[in-house]
Amino acid sequence: MPALQGLRHHSREGLPMSTYHYTFGHLHWAGEDYREDVLILPDGSVLPWRREHKHRLKLSYLAEIVQATPRHLILGTGKAGLMDVPNKVLDELAEHGIDAEVMPTEQALRRLEDLRAQRKSVAAALHLTC
């Protein structure tokens, strides 16, 4: 399957929000390269997403996202979608007013860009490998 190519969108201020390219284990986002999992906050800033267990999500692994209070959270579960996202975590996010969508990372990047183009308050947690 070919790598996903992103389109350039513009921020509320008219500046480019992101251009991305994703392949297994690698994300090029807004001019930077990432080879580890990342969190993308509503303002477009990127943080390394370090956690004890990479394949089973806990709410505590999303503390920076919850603190940023986005309306939407896109959870990229990896190239093959192998990261487990328990319903309990989705329920806890909803309690914080965050609507979460779970999908493989390629789809997650498309969805993230779509919501950003619509000027939605959105963040992402992206697992870049399996």
Q: What is the pLDDT of residues 3-59, one digit of tens each?
A: 444 433 334 444 345 579 999 999 999 899 999 999 999 999 999 999 999 999 999
Strand partners of residue 122: 72
pLDDT at residue 100 is higher than 80: yes
Amino acid letter, residue 66: V
Task: Write down the domain spans for the chain.
Answer: 36-126
Widest Cα–Cα separation across the chain: 38
- Measured in degrees and rounded to the nearest 5, phi and psi for residue 109 equal -65, -40
Which strands form 32-34's sheet, in the order they lie side by side? 4-5, 20-23, 26-29, 32-34
Residue 19: predicted pLDDT = 74
Q: What is the mean pLDDT of residues 75-88?
A: 97
% the chain with pLDDT above 90:
83
Is pTM, for the whole model, over 0.75? yes
Burial of 5 (0-12, 13-18, 19+ CB in 10 A): exposed
Taking CA 115 as the corner, what is the angle to CA 31 and CA 44, rounded to the nearest 5 degrees? 35
User: Which CATH superfamily, name and number, covers 36-126?
Assistant: MTH938-like (3.40.1230.10)
Average pLDDT value over all residues in the chain: 89
pLDDT score, position 18: 59
Q: Is the pLDDT of residue 65 over 50?
A: yes
The confidence score (pLDDT) of residue 5 equals 44
Of 9, 6, 1, 46, nearest to 22 by C-alpha is 6
**Cα gap 13→32, rounded to integer Å:** 20
